[in-house]
Structure 1
Amino acid sequence: MKLHNDIKTLIIECLDLEDVSIDDIDSDAPLFGEGLGLDSIDALELGLAIKKQFNIKIDANSDETKQHFYSVNSLASFIEAQ
């Protein structure tokens, strides 16, 4: 659970989502499109922040990476697996 909150905090801070709290982000909801509504530029920013904070190499162009970035839960699983 702590990792989920760390990821949510990272999303909020790196993307300057001033009106969003960690409680507003559903761990299962998509981060892009209908869910949190992030876009491809947000994905790059978030990828860099995750790379820096968790020291993980992320392949920006792989389909696997898109799956990892689907939700907070999928990101947490990806980070734990590294």
Structure 2
Amino acid sequence: MSDLEHDIKVMIIDVLNLEDVSPEDIDAQENLFGDNGLALDSIDALEIGVGVQKKYGIKINAEDKSTRAHFQSVRSLAEFVAAQQAAA
């Protein structure tokens, strides 16, 4: 597991107050939303988005159609964060 993926898992747990979940419980490739994985919803996505913006100083355009794909899994979110940091 990369350090960035681990940091994102910790941030998700903190932002969503997931008391019974540890970073090791979250599969980096598993869907965050829908019926499997963490089964998060759109409110959770908004909270994660705010958390990412605060923690990493990244602008997220909610209107951009690719944004949904970036939030698919911890791994895709980590790749998005890394790409945004490299571009800055």
Q: TM-score, normalising length from structure 1?
A: 0.97
Residue correspondence of structure 1 range 1-82 to structure 2 within 5 A:
1-33=2-34, 34-82=36-84
Q: Tell me how far 1:73 sits from its aligned partner.
A: 0.5
Q: Name which one, 1 or 2, has greater alpha-carbon Rg.
A: 2
Unaligned ranges ≥5, structure 1: none
Q: Give distance in 1, aligned partners of 2:63 and 2:22.
A: 29
Question: Which stretch of the first structure deviates more once superposed, 3-12 or 59-68?
Answer: 59-68
Residue 38 of structure 1 aligns to a residue whose secondary structure is coil
Residue 63 of structure 1 aligns to a residue whose secondary structure is coil
Q: Tell me how far 1:31 sits from its aligned partner.
A: 0.5
Q: Tell me how far 1:60 sits from its aligned partner.
A: 1.4
Q: Give distance in 2, aligned partners of 1:60 and 1:20.
A: 27
Unaligned ranges ≥5, structure 2: none
Q: Give distance in 2, aligned partners of 1:3 and 1:13.
A: 15
* Over 2 Å off, 4+ runs: none
Q: TM-score, normalising length from structure 2?
A: 0.90
Give aligned-pair identity as a percent.
Answer: 55
CA-atom RMSD in angstroms: 0.7
Q: Give distance in 1, aligned partners of 2:15 and 2:63.
A: 21
Q: Tell me how far 1:35 sits from its aligned partner.
A: 1.5
